[in-house]
A and B are shown apart, each in its own frame.
Chain A
Amino acid sequence: MPHTPTGEPDAAPADIAPVDVEPLVQLVSPTGERVVEPDNAGYRSRVDHLTSEDLRALYRDMVLTRRFDDEATALQRQGELALYAQGRGQEAAQVGSAYALAPQDYVFPSYREHGVLQARGVDPVDRLRLYRGQDHGGWDTEAHNVHLYTLVIGSHVLHATGYAMGIQRDGAVGTGDAARDAAVVTYFGDGATSQGDVSEALVFAAVNNAPVVFFLQNNQWAISEPTSRQSRAPLYQRGEGFGIPSVRVDGNDVLAVYAVTAEALERAHSGGGPTFIEAYTYRMGAHTTSDDPSRYRERAEEDYWARRDPIERVAALLRAEDGWDDDWAAGIDREADALGERLRTEVRQLGAPPTATMFEHVYATEHAQVQTERAWFEQYENETNETTGATR
Chain B
Amino acid sequence: MAAPDQKSSPTQVLESVGRGAAQFAGAFGFGAHLFFQSLYWLIMGRSKGQRVRAEPLFAQMMVIGVLAIPIVSMLSVAIGITLSMQGINSLEKFGAQHQVVFMVALSVTREFGPLITGILVAGRSGSALAARISTMVISQEIDALKVMGINPVRYLVVPALIGMMIVLPCLTLWSIGISLVGSAFYVAPQIGTTMGAYFSQINASIDAEDLAHGLTKSLIFAVLITIVAVVDGISVKGGAEGVGRVTTSAVVHGITAIVLTDMVFVFMTTS
- A and B interact physically: no
B residues neighboring A (CB under 8 Å):
none
- A residues whose Cβ falls under 8 Å from a Cβ of B: none
